Amino acid sequence: MKRRKVIRYSESFKIQIVKEYEEDHIPVVELRKKYEIFGGATIQSWIRKYGRPSSQLKIIKVETPKERDRIKELEKENKLLKKALSKQTLEAIISESTVEAIADMLGMNVEELKKKYGDKQ
């Protein structure tokens, strides 16, 4: 089995890379090639940790009012479905427990009880 090589970078090296990214405007792809850094998100994580806030990527979500309303609808529907599922699950547990209790009272196992009375529900 081939052992994977783990590379550890010093804090000063990480800061140097971030500095080159911020001040010299060298793209992350170029820095990865220049320093043979194989991890796809390694430099990005250094930028988040050591970089200026202005250097970090900002995610801006743009959505129309129609999309926003649809998301709210779906969230509401999801909440109702989760509630219905939990109710059904609880009812199934209660039913199974009841069948087990009846089988125990009759001195039978659950499979025998279901086989004998299952069709007569």
How do the residues of the chain divide into helix, strand and coil, expressed in percent and rounded to 5? 70, 0, 30
Q: What is the pLDDT of residue 58?
A: 66
Q: Is 43 exposed, middle or buried (0-12, 13-18, 19+ CB in 10 A)?
A: buried
- Under-50 pLDDT residues of the chain: none
CA torsion sign, 12 to 15 to 16 to 17? positive
Of 30, 80, 19, 29, whose CA–CA distance to 55 is shortest?
19
Q: Are 113 and 102 in contact (CB under 8 A)?
A: yes
Query: What token pair was written down for 5?
Result: 């090589």
The predicted structure's pLDDT at residue 80:
97
Q: What tens digit of pLDDT does each residue of 37-54 get?
A: 988 889 999 998 988 877
| Closest C-alpha to 45, from 23, 64, 17, 73 | 17
Burial class from Cβ neighbours inside 10 Å (0-12, 13-18, 19+) for residue 21 reads: buried
Query: Residues 99, 110: contact at Cβ < 8 Å?
Result: yes
39 within 8 A of 6, measured Cβ to Cβ:
no
pLDDT of res. 32: 93
What per-residue confidence (pLDDT) applies to 87? Answer: 96
